[in-house]
Structure 1
Amino acid sequence: MTLAEICILIACLLPIVCAGIAKSKGFGKPRREGGFDNHNPRSWLADLQGWQARAHAAQLNSFEVLPLFIAGVLVAQNHQAAQHTVDALAVAFIVLRIGFIWAYLADRANLRSALWALGLACCIAQFFV
């Protein structure tokens, strides 16, 4: 397994981590006290505020970029691009995504947008290496 393929697995887990962060304040509380509602999770998530709402938005955005990242890595490897370049772009993407999630949680909108754009550039670059 290449480092880029390990990064695919990490990228697939990042939305789950964001979901856990979004739901974390609701764990262990009864529904009537605002705890996580597993019967209506989407409604519960839609009512989140503050950093929890931003964690949920980071989850959604992480799912949205996932197909492009996976496709980029696989296309680069399929075209036999230099593996060290594919790995470097994949690691850069993961580092940028972790920074993106942190910036989202910290409500650093401009930094978040810059990190998102750089991560997108890593994905697109995979198609041309």
Structure 2
Amino acid sequence: MSAIGLNLTNNFSLYAVPAAWVVAMVPHFYAISLYNSEKAPGSADWDNRAPKKNIANIKEGKLSPEAQGKFLRAEAAQENAFQNLPLFAAAILAGNFAKLSPSTLNTTAAVYIVSRIAYTLVYINNTTAFAANLRSVTFLTGIATWMSLFVRAGNKLF
């Protein structure tokens, strides 16, 4: 038992799927708040009836180039996260189906979530070649985690 009363051999990996969904949504909420706080006076507010149109409206909102860049990168980070989420969820299910150890599942899920948080932070604030390369490293770390679960599950079931 740990200090907070959790048995670390329990399998928490399935909880990582909704956690990854929350991590995927955060950049979108950041983009909305950025738009509403940085838009020029008299510009239209964020319109939740037509969310995709808001991306086209950011030039109308006269956001500074820095705010516009952050807005676009935040929306791109969200889109990327949702493109990866089904693969991560499938890998978690494959690992559970193959009865991989809870420590393997928990550790791999945690590394994925942390890599996605790092990816999002680096992506939104990316203005240099170094940051762009770091973003690629964090992206590939996340990919490697769910790929490793598929390989481990396949090896165990083979």
Q: If the length of structure 2 is used for normalisation, what is the TM-score?
A: 0.74
Letter of the structure 1 residue corresponding to residue 47 of structure 2: D
- Does the CA contact (< 8 Å) of 2:11 and 2:105 recur in 1? no
Distance 1:111 1:121 in 2: 15
Partners of 2:27 and 2:77 within 8 A in 1: yes
For the 8 Å contact 2:11–2:103, the answer to whether it is kept is: no
User: What is the aligned partner in structure 1 of residue 93 from structure 2?
Assistant: 74
- How many angstroms apart in 2 are the aligned matches of 1:60 and 1:32? 29
Q: 1:24 to 1:81 in 2, by over 3 A?
A: same
Which of residues 5, 18, 41 in structure 1 aligns to 2:51?
A: 41
- The equivalent of 1:117 in structure 2 is 140
* CA offset digits 1:58-101 (Å, max 9, x no partner): 00000000001000010011011111101100000000000000
Q: Could you say what secondary structure the match of 1:33 adopts? A: coil
Query: Please, which runs of 5 or more residues in structure 2 have no aligned partner?
Result: 1-9, 59-67, 153-158
Are residue 102 (structure 1) and residue 121 (structure 2) matched? yes
Give distance in 2, aligned partners of 1:72 and 1:41. 30
Deviation at 1:31, TM superposition (A): 9.6
Query: Who is 1:23 aligned against?
Result: 32
Alignment match, 1:55: 74
Change (3 A) 1:43 1:31: farther
Contact 2:27/2:75, CA 8 A, preserved across alignment: yes
Match of residue 155 from structure 2: none
Describe the SS at the equivalent of 1:55: helix
Question: Is the counterpart of residue 6 in structure 1 residue 15 in structure 2?
Answer: yes
Q: Distance in 1 between matches of 2:147 and 2:135?
A: 18
Overall identity of the aligned pairs, in %: 30
TM-score (norm 1): 0.90
Residues 43-52 or 74-83, more deviating: 43-52
Q: Which runs of 4+ in 1 moved over 3 A?
A: 26-32
